[in-house]
Structure 1
Amino acid sequence: MSITKFLREQIQQAHGLLEATMEGVTNEQAHWAPPGIANPLSATYVHTIASEDIAINMVLKGGAPLYATEWAEKTGISEIQPLTTAEWARRVRIDVPTTRSYAKAVHAATDAYLADLPEEELNHILDLSNFGLGQMSVGAVLSRLVLGHIDNMSGEISVLKGLQGSRGYPI
C-alpha cells in the first residue's frame, strides 16, 4: 500500500469517528460551557473542521477555504475563527445539522485531494512560518495537522459529551 493511500484511509476513518462522535449532539449540548477554561463542544467542532478546510484548501491546494467560497454564509457557524481564543470559543454559535453538512463538504474535499495526490508530493516542504509552524512537509501536514488533529478533537468532543451525560465515542 502506498503512503498516500494509507493516509487517505486513515483520514477517512478519522472523519468517520469524528462524525460518529458528533451523532446525536443537540444545539444545546454544543453550546454548553464546561467549567474551568475548557472550550464548548461547538468551538471544538468548528476549530476541527475549519482547520482542516484551511490545511487542505488553502495551505496544500493554494486556494481559499470552502467557508470563504462555496460555503460562505452556509456553514451554520456564527463566526469562523480557526485559531481559537477563549472569548471566541464562548460566543461562537452553530446550527449542528448545518455545520455537519459543511463538515461533510470539507471531508469530501480532503478525500478528493488525497485521491489525486502523487506520493512524491508528500516530501514537498512548505513554509508555514505564518502559522508559527516553520517548515513542514506535505506528509507532516496531513499526518499531524489533519489526521492527528481530527483524532485529538474527537477525543475532546467525546469528553464534552460525557460531561453532559451522553455517550462520547460511539465504540
Structure 2
Amino acid sequence: MNATAYAKLQMEQAFSLMNGTAQGMSDEQYNFRPEGTCNPIAKNHVHALTAIDFFLNFLAQGKSPLWQPVAAATGLPQNSLEIWKFDGKVPLDAIATYGKQVQQSALDYVATLSDADLDREIDTKFIGTQNVAFLLQLSGMHTVGHTGDMAALKGLQGLKGLPF
C-alpha cells in the first residue's frame, strides 16, 4: 500500500467512526450541556468538521471553506472557532449534511495526491510550515479525538457512545 492510499484509508475510518457516533441522537441530546467544563456534542462535532474543512479545503487546497454558507443558513458563527462561545442550539441535521460535504471533499482531495504530493509544504500561519502529510494525519487524529469526546458525552446521557 502506498502512502496516499493509507492516508485515504485513515480518513475514511476516522469519518466512519465520527459519523456512526453522531447518529442516534435528538437535537436535544446533541446540544446537551453537561456540568463542569465539558462542551456539548454539537460543539465538538462542529469543531472536528470545521477543522477538516480548514486544514484540507482551505490550507491544503486553497479553496474557500464550506462552512460559511452553512453558518449563514443556520445562524451559527461565521468564524468556526467561535462555536465554543455560541449559546444557541446547533441543528444536527444541518451539521450532518455539512459533514458529508466536508468529508467527501477531503476524500476527493486525498484521491488526487501522489506520494510526492505529501511532501509539499504549506505555511499554516498558526502551527508553522507543515507538509500535506502532517495536515492529513492531524485531520484524522483530531477527528478521532473529538469523536471520543462525543461518545463520552452520549454515554453521560445513557446513550450508546461508539457505534460498535
Structure 2 residue 104 is matched with structure 1 residue 111: no
Unmatched runs of 5 consecutive residues or more in structure 2 = none
User: Which residue identity does 2:76 align to in structure 1?
Assistant: S
Q: Aligned ranges for residues 33-48 of structure 1 at < 5 Å?
A: 33-48=33-48
**1:16-165 mapped onto 2 (5 Å cutoff):** 16-68=16-68, 71=70, 73-74=72-73, 76=74, 78-83=76-81, 86-88=84-86, 91-128=87-124, 130-131=125-126, 133-144=127-138, 146-165=139-158
User: Deviations along 1:95-120, whole A, 9 cap, x unmatched?
Assistant: 11121011001110001001111211
> What is the root-mean-square deviation of aligned Cα atoms in Å?
1.7
Letter in 1 for 2:109: Y
Amino acid at match of 1:46: V
Would the aligned equivalents of 2:151 and 2:161 in 1 still touch at CA under 8 Å? yes
Moved over 3 A (4+): 71-74
Residues 1:42 and 1:72: Cα distance change in structure 2 (over 3 Å): closer
- Stretches of structure 1 that go unaligned for 5 or more consecutive residues are none
Distance in structure 2 (CA, Å) of the matches to 1:62 and 1:112: 14
Kept in 1, the 8 Å contact 2:57–2:65? The answer is: yes
Shift of 1:78: 2.2
Q: Aligned pair count?
A: 164
**Quick one: distance in 1 between partners of 2:53 and 2:151?**
22
Q: TM-score, normalised by structure 1?
A: 0.88
Q: Could you say which structure has the greater relative contact order, defined with CA pairs below 8 angstroms and 6 or more residues apart?
A: 2
Among the aligned pairs, what percent are the same residue?
27
Whole-angstrom CA distance in 2 between matches of 1:54 and 1:139: 15
User: Retained in 1: the 8 A contact 2:42–2:90?
Assistant: yes
Q: Is the 8 A contact 2:47 2:83 kept in 1?
A: no
Structure 1 counterpart SS, 2:80: coil
Q: How far apart in 2 are the matches of 1:31 and 1:103? A: 17
Whole-Å separation in 2 of the counterparts to 1:92 and 1:125: 38
Query: What SS does the aligned partner of 1:126 have?
Result: strand
Is 1:166 equivalent to 2:164 in the alignment? no
Whole-Å Cα distance in 2 between the matches of residues 36 and 72 of structure 1? 27
TM-score (norm 2): 0.92
Q: Distance in 1 between matches of 2:75 and 2:151?
A: 20
